[in-house]
Structure 1
Amino acid sequence: MTTPDISSQALQRIRADVRAMQAYHVQDSQGLLKMDTMENPYRLSAALQKQLGERLGALEINRYPGERLEVLKKMLADYAGAPAGSAVLLGNGSDEIITLLALATAQPTEGARAKMLAPMPGFVMYPLSAKLQGLDFVSVNLTADFDLDVPAMQAAIAAQKPAITYIAYPNNPTATLWEEDKVQAIVDAVAQIGGLVVMDEAYQPFASRSWITRMKAEPERNQHVLLMRTLSKFGLAGARLGYLIGPAALVHEIDKVRPPYNISVLNCETAIFALEHESLYAEQAAAIRAERQPLIDALAALEGVEKIWPSEANMVLLRVADAGRAQAEMKKRGVLVKNVSAMHPLLNNCLRLTVGTREENAQMLAALKESL
């Protein structure tokens, strides 16, 4: 059976900007050590896998998701220590929540399109969601050392009046956890123009602090702040479960654009099971944090590593002479890492490496040493 030719007229029905895009590419990892996507390297024990399998096997998958979602929301609020008066929104990963936030705020203001603002380099989904949902994206460069340029952020917020300002805390791909007073200055600037701040804490299990403490300490000052997290870095990347915590009045409005039944009963029950074993995942995060500084020290000692940045996440960013060549050579040696050079000019010849187990890190270091 031959594949029919798609007429040019039919293709023209697809948005021109979409046709000009590249789809998100996932590297083939068959038979390779996967150190490119910041996944938790630890699997459940055989006993816990069996328990989870039995729970999932007993679910009524012929029914739509129901009240167990409310159980999960309560567990997530308790786990995060949500401030009083908060509500929780669930997403199919934090990616879907970013889309929902863009959908909910994509209204023109004074004859112009709504705007989304974020410091860059940052998470690629921010500008992508703005583009697809009809917002203008405003990028404010970080400093050369990937610190926040607070005066530039304040000026851009005052001039552009963004509906949403994203602060990744810690940032991806730089792994930076910016100083609290600098972040608060931006939060205050957004309050002056009546916008929303989304604090993206995808890598919170590996960071030394969370913005939720500021939300609880000064609720009035942070009443326009929404906290976004994911269970992907917690250890459930395959379950695709993100969540948003914020003042109930705001969260309930955003919930109106959420597709019905967006979280499957399988994802929901897996997340509940994981939160019931929260201490196990806390131990795994602690083990990853313990391996982070030794990895950074070993990387800094390698000839050919030109610069390495501090990390408060489960990734490390470094610069080499030729990131493309180093990535290709590492892949030949069985190790996948991420070349982030094309993401932003400030990331020229930078590689992003996942922090894994001691054995994984040793294998990655050996491959990098041979590849430089």
Structure 2
Amino acid sequence: MTANDAEGRLERLAALPLRENLRGATPYGAPQIDVPIQLNVNENTHPLPDSVRDAILRGVEGTLDTLNRYPDREFTTLRASLARYLGHGLDADHLWAANGSNEVLQQLLQAFAGPGRTLMSFPPTYSMYPLLASGTDTRYIAGTREPDFTLTPDAAAAQVRAEAPDVVIVCSPNNPTGTSTGLDVVEAVYAATEQTRSMVIVDEAYVEFAHTGTPSALRLLPGRERLVVSRTMSKAFGMAGTRLGYLAAAPEVTDALRLVRLPYHLSAVTQAVALGALTHADALLATVEDIKAQRDRIVAGLDRLGLTPTPSDANFVLFGPLRDATAVWHGLLDAGVIIRDIGLHGRLRVSAGTEAETTAFLDRMRELVDAGVAVPAR
């Protein structure tokens, strides 16, 4: 598309009766550039094991004779399988799933936010949160973090009490910083919402990559009917193309989501693929330890190069600030390596890939440091 074509489409878009809060907005999305080493969207770059592929193929084949019929609207078998995977005394009534964790979050906002209501999260954090707020006509409130990107219980609770949001999202491990949030923060935020009866969502999309001993907010669910823990199969499971996100919460929360979900929103094929993967969860999650090792290798390697990586509990590493992050990004791209420029104070984010991919990234970063391109900001 030429610049003139793009400008013309923007003009035609502006002429439509678009909602005011969507005018001038830009859609979410990372650059899609075909290069050999793609470390920009936090995917699990390891291929599916053969045993998982076979299980998925058998499951999908089993749906073919009934594709003329609507799928199980309640995806009961899948919810039971997800509950078994999570443990913590959960059963199918506590589970919900949708087409990616983004749709899970969207449905939560459709049910508990919307016009006249507010959503609060704590930037820098997942950039979809304000977009999901805008898409559901919810006012977005940006909280703050400490300079090292951590969030303390007192600070988080004070902000929540001051703003009284209808929904609070805490991302842990946080994207794009990789920092985990202590359960004491979640407890403090939940306590701060007692009077407002606000929903508290803990987005644990990357929790499987956390260092050993890092607890999940799942253990806080009993007795907290307004607490939700969101997960995904896109990251640790390596199933980004499946688009399967899910949550655990009190059964009444899943009842609320039935009021806003589209009919038969999870296709029979999606359910079959997810079930096939869950039956071989151990094989899929075997790659997690390798990814964690490569993540820690990136942290150590960038530190040796004199750069400043943020310690990470996710499958990615944030580093910088750099004097010219854009030049570093292009320098990597010239070598066939794409990472993410998130526009955060000269910082860049790189996903942990395979050993070979990580080596290629670190080797190129060494070249950029030696060439005076990758220079810390002063």
Scaled by the length of structure 1, the TM-score of the pair is 0.89
Q: Residue 311 of structure 2 corresponds to which residue in structure 1?
A: 310
* Residues 341, 347 of structure 2: 8 Å contact kept: yes
Within 5 Å, which residues of 2 pair with 1:53-68? Answer: 53-59=57-63, 60-66=66-72
Q: How does 1:14-29 map to 2 (within 5 A)?
A: 14-29=18-33
Query: Structure 1 residue aligned with 2:338, among 336, 343, 350?
Result: 336
Matches within 5 A, 1:132-143: 132-143=135-146
Unpaired stretches in structure 1, ≥5 consecutive residues: 342-346
Unmatched 5+ residue regions in structure 2? Answer: 369-373
Aligned residue for 1:182, secondary structure, equals: helix
Could you tell me how far apart the structure 1 residues matched to 2:319 and 2:197 are?
A: 37
| Cα separation, 1, equivalents of 2:117 and 2:29 | 29
Q: In the alignment, is residue 99 of structure 1 matched against residue 106 of structure 2?
A: yes
Report the counterpart of residue 251 of structure 1 in structure 2: 254
Aligned ranges 1:19-58 → 2 under 5 Å: 19-46=23-50, 48-58=52-62
Matches of 1:105 and 1:181, distance apart in 2: 24
* Aligned amino acid, residue 96 of structure 1: E
CA displacement at 1:54 relative to structure 2: 4.0
> Which of 225, 228, 244 in structure 1 is aligned with 2:230?
228
The residue identity in structure 2 corresponding to 1:310 is P
Whether the aligned pair in 1 keeps the contact of 2:35 and 2:338 (CA below 8 Å) is no
Q: Residues 323-361 of structure 1, C-alpha deviation per residue, up to 9 Å, x if partnerless?
A: 1111111011100100112xxxxx301111101121111
Q: Tell me if structure 2 keeps the 8 A contact 1:191–1:224.
A: no
Aligned amino acid, residue 49 of structure 2:
S
Q: Name segments (4+ residues, structure 1) moved above 6 Å.
A: none
- 2:70 aligns to what SS in structure 1? coil
> What one-letter code is carried by the residue in structure 1 that aligns with 2:353?
G
When residues 250 and 46 of structure 1 are mapped into structure 2, their CA distance, relative to the original with a 3 A threshold, is: closer
The CA deviation at 1:284 is: 1.1
CA distance in 2, matches of 1:265, 1:82: 27
Deviation string 1:23-80 (CA, Å, 9 cap, x unpaired) is 2234233233110111111112345434433432342322221178210100001111
CA contact (8 A) 1:89 1:255 kept: no
- Calculate the aligned-residue CA RMSD, in Å: 2.2
The reply to whether residue 114 of structure 1 matches residue 117 of structure 2 is yes
C-alpha deviation, 1:10, in angstroms: 8.2
Contact 1:119–1:140, Cα closer than 8 Å, also in 2? yes
In the superposition, relative to structure 1, how do residues 116 and 62 fare at CA in structure 2: closer, same or farther (>3 Å)? same
Pick closer, same or farther for the CA change 1:151–1:66 going to 2, 3 Å.
same
Quickly say closer, same or farther: Cα 1:9–1:272, change in 2 above 3 A: closer
| TM-superposed deviation, 1:82 | 4.5
User: TM (normalized to structure 2)?
Assistant: 0.87
Q: How far off its partner does 1:292 sit? A: 2.1
Question: What is the distance in 1 between the residues matched to 2:363 and 2:114?
Answer: 51
1:74 and 2:77 aligned: no
Secondary structure class of the residue paired with 2:194: helix
Does the 8 Å contact 2:94/2:249 carry over to 1? Answer: yes
The one-character-per-residue Cα deviations of 1:276-309 (angstroms, maximum 9, x if unpaired) are 0011122111221222222211111114x2x211
Question: Offset at 1:322?
Answer: 1.4
Note the alpha carbon deviations across 1:185-215, whole angstroms, 9 max, x for none.
Answer: 1222123421111011100111232111233
1:237 Cα offset (Å) = 0.4
Amino acid at match of 1:333: A
Alignment of 1:356 with 2:353, yes or no, is yes
User: Identical aligned pairs, as a percentage?
Assistant: 29
Are residue 211 (structure 1) and residue 217 (structure 2) matched? yes
